[in-house]
Amino acid sequence: MNNVAGIDVSKGKSMVSVLRPFGEVVAKPFSIGHTGSELKELADYLKSLDGETRVVMEHTGRYYEPVARFLHDEGVFVSAVNPKLIKDYGNNTLRKVKTDKADSRKIARYGIDNWAELRQHTPMDTIRMQLKTLNRQQSLYTKTKTMMKNNLIALLDQTYPGVNALFDSPVREDGSQKWVDFATAFWHVDCVRKQSYNAFSERYQKWCKRHGYFFKQSNAEKVYALAKNAVVLVPKSGVTKVLVQEAANQLSSTSRSVETYRAEMECLASMLPEYPVVMEMYGVGKSFGPQLMAEIGDVRRFERKQSLVALAGIDPMPNQSGDKNVRSNKSSKRGSPYLRKTLFNVMGIYLKCAPQNEPVFQFLDRKRSDYFDLGFGHNNLGVETLGMFYQHRADPNTPIEVVAETVNELIREGKVLHFGLCEVNADTIRRAHRICPVTAIQSEYHLMHRAVEDARGEVDLLREHGELLDEL
């Protein structure tokens, strides 16, 4: 006799329903708190039932984890199910009911109908749990750091425009950056140009020595020249100083937290048995390696490689009906977005570095060629070579260097003659042109829309290089 306890977990409490096959009710929905005593009572009750008893709950958020761990440690069979499977199950009624009691009964019914496929939940060990939590915190603080960086640059555009672009020093282990520290000390152009160049150079050299940065005379000249020619929106005042310095301090604090999380993740990841194997993978370093290990968890829990692919949400969704059979299918994107982002970054390194002897790159390169042959080749367009390959809209998630390298490869193979871009700024054109010659630029340009002349700087760039304004 099979018993299924469906548990709808929420913060601090859960709703429990116990059912048997054919809709037999063992226990009507009842609430329990997430305390040791109440969970102990639940475990004892479930183990006292006649027959085999299994607990089913949704694998969502973090609320289910302590309940699942406690019941597992008490010897109860626990299965944590993807919430989408529960959502899509049993939708055979026009009346939509959304209550904790109804959800617990639905989860129990799902367990009964899928009894044979229920997989036992294995709690994550302490190191992997801490590693995953650190990765999620690092991801959060990295987004915050990007936001604060953009905020500081926006403020500097009003007090010292373009100064951040003059520094390319990497982030230190303590999270400090040269351009941020510089902006804290020289927060307005008048902090520089109100003194002679020699006085500023001497002061700047002492500042570099005090903060442990390398001093270059040429860099001092660039910083001073920028200050002398800058046109600023706000005057040098106490309010301006507070705005810039507080924004810089917040960015430095967040950056320090990101680096602290990264170092702690590296330390924890090095304790896991798969660490040497992961770190030997091409494109995986001290940042991406721990991130992969954090999101994948114990790889031994996957019975098939397809299960790991599905976890990342990069499994293609088949699309076939009758004579229709789509060969290029989109990814499901139903897995972990954190894992998917890390994999995307690793693949970006493959495409940028193009290691010809790496099997993964060879696979990617072959797929790109297949995609071109299937989507753009003579089979569909009736031509052997495309005269112009345009990127009509830039993908914000794909660096322009990756696009340019892909098109450049197609040009070398004779499948494309020329490369064109659409609706891009001057910086994007420069970055693409370094890798693959850009022949044509297509942008909106008329009396009511002249951004290409000033804000985006496309016209000046093309005139500078003596290029034709094709389709501009």
Q: In 270-398, which ranges are continuous DSSP H helix?
A: 275-279, 288-296, 305-312, 337-353, 359-375, 378-381
Determine phi and psi for 374, rounding to 5 degrees: -80, -35
- Extract the tokens encoding 251: 């960015």
- Extract the tokens encoding 223: 């910083």
180-209 pLDDT, tens digit per residue, is: 999 999 999 999 999 999 999 999 999 999
Q: What is the DSSP string of 40-52?
A: HHHHHHHHHSSSE
Token pair 């989507």 is at which residue?
375
299-353 pLDDT, tens digit per residue, is: 888 888 888 888 888 888 777 777 776 666 777 888 889 999 999 999 889 888 8
Q: For 10, which DSSP code?
A: -
Token pair 């002061």 is at which residue?
203
Q: What is the C-alpha to C-alpha distance for residues 335 and 308, in angstroms, rounded to an integer?
A: 10
Strand partners, 2: 52
Q: What is the C-alpha to C-alpha distance for residues 58 and 37, in angstroms, rounded to an integer?
A: 22
201-234 pLDDT, tens digit per residue, is: 999 999 999 999 999 999 999 999 999 999 998 9
Q: Quick one: residue 439, left, alpha or beta (phi over 0 = left, psi -120 to 50 = alpha)? A: alpha
234 Cβ contact list (under 8 Å, min separation 6): 158, 159, 240
Q: What is the C-alpha to C-alpha distance for residues 237 and 230, in angstroms, rounded to an integer?
A: 17
Could you tell me the CA-to-CA distances from 109 to 5, 25, 103, 225 in Å, in that order?
9, 11, 10, 73
Mean pLDDT within 35-47 = 95
Q: How far apart are the first and last CA of the chain?
A: 75
Mean pLDDT within 33-44 = 94
Higher pLDDT, 410 or 47: 47
Mapping DSSP onto H, E and C, the string for 156-175 reads: HHHHCCCHHHHCCCCCCCCC
**Mean of all residue pLDDT scores within the chain:** 87
Q: What is the C-alpha to C-alpha distance for residues 299 and 133, in angstroms, rounded to an integer?
A: 18
Q: What is the DSSP string of 178-216?
A: HHHHHHHHS-STHHHHTS-HHHHHHHHHHHHHHHTPPP-
Q: For 23, which DSSP code?
A: G
Residue 381 has pLDDT above 80, yes or no: no
The fraction of the chain above a pLDDT of 90, given in percent, is 55
Q: What is the C-alpha to C-alpha distance for residues 410 and 417, in angstroms, rounded to an integer?
A: 8
Q: What is the C-alpha to C-alpha distance for residues 419 and 429, in angstroms, rounded to an integer?
A: 11
Given pLDDT bands bounded at 50, 70 and 90, which one contains residue 374?
A: very low
Token pair 């199910």 is at which residue?
81
Cβ atoms of 222 and 164 within 8 Å: the answer is no
SS3 16: strand
- Extract the tokens encoding 54: 């299994």
> HSE-up of 148 (CA within 13 Å, CB side)?
22
State pTM to two decimals: 0.70
Amino acid at 155: L
Q: What is the C-alpha to C-alpha distance for residues 427 and 233, in angstroms, rounded to an integer?
A: 24
Q: What is the C-alpha to C-alpha distance for residues 289 and 295, in angstroms, rounded to an integer?
A: 10
pLDDT value at residue 468: 41
Strand partners, 57: 7, 80
418-453 pLDDT, tens digit per residue, is: 898 888 888 888 888 888 988 888 877 666 666 666
Q: For 445, which DSSP code?
A: -
Given pLDDT bands bounded at 50, 70 and 90, which one contains residue 178?
A: very high
